[in-house]
Structure 1
């Protein structure tokens, strides 16, 4: 897939442009502490940044479907760059201004993920290549959430948290410009749609899958809290950071394997339900009280299944969306994941960080995917085929 013209550039530019999603939350924590604020204040700022894209991405994705990728990507990149530079230069001493900038930086995230998903059909020759590209993209997202925090902490330690925010701003701007200046991005326009046509949320076929993504995101939010709880139980502070990293690394490997061995497009509804139940079962061994190294080994199984499940569900959302709404559909999928992350973190924190929380969230995800699978097969298949042709 990467040998095809423009594909490598589009993928790399998209990952670079999304790198701040992994860098900014931890940098806001460090900036707030440096300016004398409490950890709670820094956590609130990081949470606001994490939730803001859930509202901005669908809107910018809809604008991309209507006007092409140039305007929303450049508009979003400019907003993010200005907001992060403001926080870097002014600090967090004036909290109302900081909150406004943090929300703008989150809500303005350019729709690179949705744009990339929409471009694969124009840049690649057939559906098999498109499915492989989408899986590779979902796997590459793990790099954002592993390399992003590490890069931010390294820059903040070597230079300052303000320098890390400036690097995040440059990454957004550089990645977005490299992305939209590629020929497929300049030429792409969303498919025509009928006036008065319902949006993505109006599709009965899409709604169960979107809600399942909320539960899927909740498993990751709960995992972070469970890592902290297990680290305290085992008196191994390093486990809190290593557990999510191991989970993400396993996801990267699982996504690559899934791209190699996944079946035909018309089998995706069955794959969705099967992957959902496998993902749920993979959390069961983590309920046992085992030493820290064993916890890491056991976490690799749900990690390896996370990216294949995320890829299959995201592809289903895109293909079942109404014509001309692909970027908006990806935006809603990203919003669902982010809302789930916040919900899972909050619930797991209030319930003590047990692995039963990600297990319950995974079970909810699987049940909703079964609801989707049991919908009339003919309608679902026709919608998938129409989506792939789009």
Structure 2
């Protein structure tokens, strides 16, 4: 743990982690808030799934595209513009009365304007710490990120059930605006300039570790989103119990990330961590009481942050610095689509089978996320004893003869 203390004492690290987590907090709130809000309006989880699907399409387009734009126009202009548009879309969904297709259009606009905070900060990290500190920093960040994906829904569930779904969406917007402004004001954002990538758009996906992290990240967060929806549906009459169970899940992930953050990353690291998520999630489908879910989701949570840390590290070690923003844009897109699609699939299965259907959906996502890194283990770099920093960009240099 002393290593994490040294990291947080490094100039700017604690500030930039806090700012980017606040700005990205709505990523763990919006899908669930939309699910609850649209279901309440139309009395159908399926209708809510359509809105989440439209949002995910926008996010799929936005992630790598806006990330690449940061290498052209800079971080601050791109993030500022998307921040304004995304905030406006949240306000429309919260307060406007629209037909289902209207909410789908607004969801799509909000998705395509999702601010590229994650690729920005992943690009900044290697410039803030030494190469030996980079992998522990990814682990620390992945552990803290669970506040977004797990604790975010806890807050959303509590506010939506105890106050209103409108209040839950407004709260997400407050985090988006406040955190976005804080991140933009951070000195580190102005100090790092992302070089313009010389490769064609999407070419970074030809690097196997980037594609592996994108696909497995999609499946991991899809499993998380399905679990969140299933927990809420299971404790429909008692939102407080749902919030407590999700909080225990978050604690499991946080503890796992901090405990395993310094373990060297070998070629089977991602598969092992995803297997933990699958086992806990599959067991949850058969233990729907409070204590059963608390225990099984504590187990599932222990694999989440460690798996994310592995994904961040193998991407960083496999690309050039000019490609990092776009690479993390693709990874972030996979995660955001997973969040929306996981909620949507779980919603339909919950309508048909009850809460157990949602947990089985999450288990299916996690199982695929375990099998894929086993089948494609050669795409997973062995980082034991290796530097996880991005490769330096090289170009011809004129000399005087």
How many residue pairs match? The answer is: 380
Counterpart check, 1:247 vs 2:253: no
Correspondences of 1:1-390 after superposition (within 5 Å): 1-28=7-34, 32=38, 37-40=42-45, 41-42=47-48, 44-49=50-55, 52-88=58-94, 91-93=96-98, 96-124=101-129, 126-152=130-156, 162=166, 164-191=168-195, 193-196=197-200, 199-224=203-228, 226-227=230-231, 240-259=242-261, 261-263=262-264, 267-283=265-281, 285-286=283-284, 291-348=289-346, 349-350=348-349, 352=353, 353-354=356-357, 355-375=359-379, 387=390
- Contact (CA 8 Å) 1:29, 1:39: kept in 2 or not? no
Could you tell which deviates more after superposition, 141-150 or 298-307? 141-150
Could you tell which deviates more after superposition, 347-356 or 50-59? 347-356
Q: Measured at CA, do residues 24 and 358 of structure 1 come closer, stay the same or move farther in structure 2, by a change above 3 Å?
A: closer
* Distance (whole Å) between structure 1 residues aligned to residue 134 and residue 341 of structure 2: 32
What TM-score results when the alignment is normalised by the length of structure 1?
A: 0.80
- Contact (CA 8 Å) 1:199, 1:322: kept in 2 or not? no
Find the residue that maps to 2:105 and give its secondary structure: helix
| Cα offsets for 1:259-282 (capped at 9, x unmatched) | 3x323xxx3434223333444444
| Cα offsets for 1:219-256 (capped at 9, x unmatched) | 22332355467669xx9886655444322221122112
* Distance (whole Å) between structure 2 residues aligned to residue 283 and residue 388 of structure 1: 37
What TM-score results when the alignment is normalised by the length of structure 2?
A: 0.79
* Distance (whole Å) between structure 2 residues aligned to residue 231 and residue 27 of structure 1: 16
| Cα offsets for 1:85-107 (capped at 9, x unmatched) | 34445x22465554333322222
* Distance (whole Å) between structure 2 residues aligned to residue 27 and residue 289 of structure 1: 25
* Distance (whole Å) between structure 2 residues aligned to residue 206 and residue 25 of structure 1: 25
In the TM superposition, what is the alpha-carbon distance from 1:115 to its structure 2 partner? 1.0
Q: Measured at CA, do residues 315 and 13 of structure 1 come closer, stay the same or move farther in structure 2, by a change above 3 Å?
A: same
Q: Measured at CA, do residues 381 and 300 of structure 1 come closer, stay the same or move farther in structure 2, by a change above 3 Å?
A: closer
* Distance (whole Å) between structure 2 residues aligned to residue 84 and residue 57 of structure 1: 18
- Contact (CA 8 Å) 2:71, 2:195: kept in 1 or not? yes
